Amino acid sequence: MRNIIKIFLLTVAPLLTACETDSYRTGDGALSAMRAEFVEAHTDADARVMAVETDGGERLTLTSPVVVGWMEKPDTVYRALFYYNYNKVDGDGGQPQAEPVAVSYVLVPSVTAAAGMTGDMKTDPVKFVSSWASTNGKYLNIELLLMTGKVDGDNAAQTVGVICDSVITGGDGARRMWCTLYHDQNGVPEYYSSQTYVSIPVVGLPVAPAQGDEVILDINTYDGKITRTFGF
């Protein structure tokens, strides 16, 4: 199946910066002002993150370059949940700066048309936590808990994606895109839950949404099917 992403579940990862290897620091002080925001992280020619842009449209220059294992491609934009200490300073042209603390991987699946699928549709259950649209309108976000576990010698990975079933235009001209969360447990043991964030790129939807359009997403949970609607 194309455009569906296999994931080995990881949550928050410590940062490797240009000058240190660090994880969370505890106690009072600078950490008390720590923020966490969803961002687009931009790598440079050396695959280092030098700046991020928040969903609120604020560009933050980092006080030190960041290198993370899964951000391995140079000159690439990655989706991430970014933990940082905020420094509003007059330097660097007056741009706000961010002192990196940690970063969490965010899954960005492509949207596949149901007609283009090969293989069976998989809707293994997940635990749903929340959903929301990004302030900048670029992403439809879902917070999930995926059941996972590890067996010695087993490298199986779960698969998550989004399948668009149909686009229906109503009498008012508004379009409704009906989609389903694809999830293949793939035999991964269900010992404990792992927090997983999914950001569906709006640019990948079957049609560019206009005001009044909706994306309707069906999600199979352990408590049964639920539907979440994102309006534009």
pLDDT at 90: 52
How many other CB atoms sit within 10 Å of the CB of residue 56? 11
Query: In order of start, what are the domains of the chain with their CATH numbers?
Result: 10-105 (2.40.50.500), 107-231 (2.60.40.2370)
Tell me the C-alpha distance between 52 and 186, whole Å. 34
Distance (Å) of CA 18 to CA 15, 50, 57, 67, 70 = 10, 11, 26, 7, 16
pLDDT at 5: 47
pLDDT at 157: 86
User: Which residue ranges of the chain lie beneath pLDDT 50?
Assistant: 1-31
pLDDT at 94: 64
pLDDT at 146: 95
Reported as a single tens digit per residue, the pLDDT across 107-164 is: 999 889 888 888 889 999 999 999 999 999 999 999 999 999 886 666 678 899 999 9
pLDDT at 19: 29
SS3 203: helix
The answer for 203, left when phi > 0, alpha when psi is -120 to 50, beta otherwise, is alpha
- Which residue's entry shows tokens 């030190």? 64
pLDDT at 28: 44
Tell me the C-alpha distance between 146 and 46, whole Å. 33
